[in-house]
Amino acid sequence: MKSLQPVRGTHDLLPDAFRRHRHVAGRAKAIAETYGFQELATPIFEFAEVFKRTLGDTSDVVSKEMYSFTDRGGEEITLRPEGTAGVCRAVISNGLRQSLPGKFFYDGPMFRYERPQKGRQRQFHQIGIELLGVEGPLADIEAIALGAHILKDLGILEKTTLELNTLGDQESRAAYRAVLVDYFTAHLADLSEDSRARLDRNPLRILDSKDEGDRRLVVGAPSFQEYLTPAARAFFATVTTGLDAIGIAFKLNPRLVRGLDYYCHSAFEFTTTELGAQGTVLGGGRYDGLIEMMGGPATPGVGWAAGIERLAMMVADVAPSVRPIAIVPLGEAAELAALKLTQELRHAGLAVDLGYSGNLGRRLKRADRMGARVAVILGDDELARGAAMVRDLDTGDQAEVELSALQDRLAQFR
């Protein structure tokens, strides 16, 4: 029955998968906190204008991929396709501009209507950071360093390559934009339909086109490096020198671009060959003009986002964070005693599972399936002696323990 299946491009996070998902988000948050980042959460839907302004009307996200609808009040609403716009909107609408610099970490679901692929669904999840209010290149270095630190902690940094480029300052971009428009105009007939639509509004996006015909033209396009101002060169030199100083390897990629005008200076991506066509696992850059474009004051910013699903596919197996204690009552008289004991142990801070039915063998098999560390067996004979049998499920050793001493004995399994 169709209605009993998840909608195409969505999937259920069952316990094993969710454990990996939570591990990625939890470790990222913990490491971000050591860099001074604070967690925030924005609504999963915003007024559509928030994303139309920030992503551009000609972008694929706005023109083809956004989940937008008109609500009962007649407002055009969009499920968030990315996190940066919502965070910047929150800074403006909550008056946080007065307390910048600000460091923000987020995680949560995003939504894009696109063809589902490995590691990319229509509902997906991201971790991300935004560092707002710092003009200098040290912010770019710190943002990249935090991303690398998280990937290293997850055990996957060595499986990635940091690709880095500079988008220059506004003067650099204006000069480059002019020569790029001239170059592609001369080859207008050979451009794809999407790239012809982008030529006037954001020609830099053509450099990132996936169309094979466009890519052949891009090879002969003028190089951005020739049009960088001295200030832009100095900014990028500080970034690369800083990354060298802290031991973060990178590869320069002059074709790594961001098409919208509020992007500037550093653009970076950690890429991998382990996920097929979906090679980017973490990407970001500097966006000094974004908050001003949204109606706020001029505010520098740099940030990145990473897909949790893609990261989770690359991490090693994650063991359960808690291995419970299994309470195994045998006999009618033991059921009530087991219920009481279970609650006492839980209130003492222990993770405890109480089997509901079955003989000793069945209950121990259940305990093994759930990864229990120890089993506490309560039978009529043990209860008559005021004791319980404690079995170590890793070693098979067992011993009788008085009920009055049980909490102390089990404390080592907390």
d(CA 103, CA 91): 11
Torsion of CA 126, 82, 142, 237, to 10 degrees: 130
According to DSSP, residue 7 is labeled P
* DSSP string over 19-44: HHHHHHHHHHHHHHHHTT-EE----S
Burial of 148 (0-12, 13-18, 19+ CB in 10 A): buried
82 annotated as ligand-binding:
yes
Q: What are phi and psi of 46, to 5 degrees?
A: -135, 170
126 annotated as ligand-binding: yes
263 marked as binding residue: yes
Smallest CA-to-CA distance from 64 within 176, 163, 178, 197 is with 197
Question: 258: annotated binding-site residue?
Answer: yes
Cβ atoms of 166 and 228 closer than 8 Å: yes
112 is in an annotated binding site: yes
Q: Rounded distance, CA 85 to CA 5, Å?
A: 32
Beta strands at 352-354 and 325-330: parallel, antiparallel or unpaired: parallel
Question: 10 Å Cβ neighbour count for 233?
Answer: 15
Annotated binding-site members for L-histidine: 82-84, 112, 126, 130, 258, 262-263
Annotated binding-site members: 82-84, 112, 126, 130, 258, 262-263
